[in-house]
């Protein structure tokens, strides 16, 4: 029996190749996930073709490696895969545009994240969807597993507990901890907005910005944009109950639970504007939406009341807050979404593979705001080098050269800020990133060619009903 016959789902694609009409996108996705039974797996990185190899990799040879790490704990990074391995941790409480669906239902997203880490960054990522939900429980879990990992990526944890989890772990752990919904999103928004403003001829410190949704993503966007020179007096934020302002007693009386949101109430919207999304967008130059999936969350009439040359980032997944064509028809000059099937993808997949590649290659102890800005600078510059237009303000997420450039910028920033533990050069990190990404993609091709995993043609065939 061949490898192709014994791998999970191997016969399914042959049956699916019969053309009985197109499947819906959802049905195609479910069939593809079922064919592959997930998106990532663990494969050996050492030879195992001879029985005597086991004496090296397991007993008795493994004991020598253990004793060496006891003698010098830093040797763990040289004798294990820890230096290239990160944890993706989620409690499933804020999954994409799906909300609180729990850890098991969130696992396909975390597996997908691990896949992108590998094929876009050469990073080995372990998806861990956990059945605890209190801040203290999540913090304790991550602390307990930290010795096995070089870094931690927190994912899809609801606000406000995500802020407390991140702050506690960054304070207490000796390895980098990153919440991608906050820091990754803010990195890409900063890069995309820089280039979008250049296209329309406006300045960050002069534009009026409406933040639609003020959860983990837009809270981080607010802080990064303010640090980059955006004027809080020209910012209006809106949550599910309306515009934030100093009269929002529901936020003020929540105390520490909504401390970050109350800060926005105090520091923005000095005119005391009230109302909802329509009022928040009135006269705005920029709309940055990380809110409820659309397509009717942001009305075309609200976009029509924005300033001339309006920029609309409608980033909810899986459905943007407003259809891009509708936003354009209403007068927006530049429209971006979180999806790869529309122009101008503003999605953290542009950031995290390259940033983590640079973090690991520098042996960084933490991820600083300076490293985030350096990554955004590299991302924006890469897009400018290819030619920025209304429909091309950011590079593609799968561009190896861009990923390597982001990795190099991140690693060098870590070195400049004193958080790197390994010496790096910009060219050395860039070349190393290209090599690791190339190896990861070559390994996937080899597995597919050998029939161990499905081919692209088999997956494509599932788009037709059996």
Residues acting as catalytic residues = 58, 113
**Dist CA 333 CA 371 (whole Å):** 31
| 345-382 as b/e: b if 16+ CB within 10 A | bbbbbbbbbbbbbbbbbbbbbbbbeebbbbbbbbbbbb
**Dist CA 369 CA 160 (whole Å):** 20
3-state secondary structure of 109: helix
Token representation of residue 62: 């493994």
User: Torsion angle of alpha carbons 165, 166, 167, 173, nearest 10°?
Assistant: 100
Helix 216-227 to helix 161-172 angle, to the nearest 10 degrees? 60
Token representation of residue 219: 């809270």
**Dist CA 207 CA 310 (whole Å):** 10
3-state secondary structure of 313: strand
List helix spans (H) across 346-452: 352-362, 369-386, 400-416, 426-449
Q: How big is the chain, counted in residues?
A: 466
């Amino acid at each position: 029996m061949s490898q192709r016959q014994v791998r999970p789902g191997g016969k399914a694609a042959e049956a699916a190749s019969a053309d009985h009409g197109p499947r819906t996108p959802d049905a195609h996705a479910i069939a593809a996930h079922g064919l592959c039974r997930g998106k990532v797996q663990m494969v050996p990185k050492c030879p195992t073709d001879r029985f005597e190899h086991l004496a090296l990799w397991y007993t008795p040879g493994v004991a020598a490696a253990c004793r060496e790490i006891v003698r010098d704990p830093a040797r763990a990074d040289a004798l294990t895969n820890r230096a290239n391995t990160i944890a993706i941790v989620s409690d499933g409480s804020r999954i994409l545009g799906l909300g609180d669906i729990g850890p098991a239902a969130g696992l396909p997203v975390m597996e997908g994240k691990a896949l992108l880490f590998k094929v876009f960054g050469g990073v080995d990522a372990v998806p861990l969807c956990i059945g605890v939900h209190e801040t203290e429980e999540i913090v304790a879990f991550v602390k307990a597993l930290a010795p096995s990992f070089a870094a931690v990526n927190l994912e899809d944890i609801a606000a406000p507990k995500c802020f407390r989890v991140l702050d506690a772990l960054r304070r207490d752990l000796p390895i980098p901890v990153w919440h991608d919904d906050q820091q990754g999103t803010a990195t890409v928004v900063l890069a995309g907005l820089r280039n979008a403003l250049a296209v329309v001829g406006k300045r960050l410190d002069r534009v009026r910005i409406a933040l639609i949704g003020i959860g983990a993503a837009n809270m981080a966007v607010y802080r990064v944009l303010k640090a980059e020179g955006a004027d809080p007096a020209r910012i209006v934020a809106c949550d599910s109950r309306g515009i934030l302002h100093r009269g929002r007693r529901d936020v003020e009386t929540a105390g520490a639970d909504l401390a970050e949101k109350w800060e926005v109430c105090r520091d923005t919207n000095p005119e005391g504007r009230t109302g909802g999304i329509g009022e928040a967008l009135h006269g705005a130059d920029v709309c940055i939406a990380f809110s409820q999936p659309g397509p009717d969350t942001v009305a075309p009439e609200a976009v029509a009341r924005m300033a001339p040359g309006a920029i609309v980032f409608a980033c909810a997944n899986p459905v943007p807050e407003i259809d891009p064509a509708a936003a354009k028809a209403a007068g927006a000059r530049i429209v971006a979404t979180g999806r790869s099937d529309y122009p101008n993808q503003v999605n953290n997949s542009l950031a995290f593979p390259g940033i983590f590649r640079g973090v690991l290659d520098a042996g960084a102890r933490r991820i600083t705001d300076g490293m985030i800005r350096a990554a955004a600078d590299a991302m924006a510059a890469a897009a400018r080098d290819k030619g920025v237009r209304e429909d091309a303000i950011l590079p593609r997420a799968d561009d190896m050269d861009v990923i390597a450039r982001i990795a190099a910028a991140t690693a060098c920033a870590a070195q400049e800020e004193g958080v790197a533990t390994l010496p790096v050069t910009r060219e050395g990190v860039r070349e190393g990133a290209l090599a690791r990404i190339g190896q990861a993609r070559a390994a996937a091709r080899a597995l597919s060619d050998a029939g161990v995993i499905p081919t692209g043609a088999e997956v494509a065939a599932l788009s037709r009903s059996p």
